[in-house]
Amino acid sequence: MTLANPIQFQATKEKLRLLKDRYAEIRTAPTDDENTRDITLRSLKQLINQLTEELARYESKTPA
């Protein structure tokens, strides 16, 4: 995915904030299934990294 405009940029920033909040919630919540939690956290972390990279790529192409 490539961000094409400021609206997509802002929406992606909001998604990233929500994902980071969810990641923190899951990480600290008690669980009966450690394996499922680990897989979920790994998946969320990959998405967080992807969105962070897309935001950085957009910012680097946008004039200051």
C-alpha span between 63 and 1 (Å, rounded)? 20
Please give the Cα distance from 64 to 51 (Å, whole number).
21
19-34 pLDDT, tens digit each: 999 999 999 999 999 9
Q: Residue 37: is its pLDDT beyond 90?
A: yes
Query: Is residue 18 predicted with pLDDT exceeding 80?
Result: yes
Write down the pTM of the prediction: 0.90
Cβ within 8 Å of residue 48, ≥6 positions away: 16, 19, 20, 23
62 pLDDT tier (thresholds 50, 70, 90): confident
Mean pLDDT of the chain: 95
Once rounded to an integer, what is the mean pLDDT over residues 30-43?
96
Considering Cα of 58, then 18, then 22, then 37, what sign does the dihedral take? negative
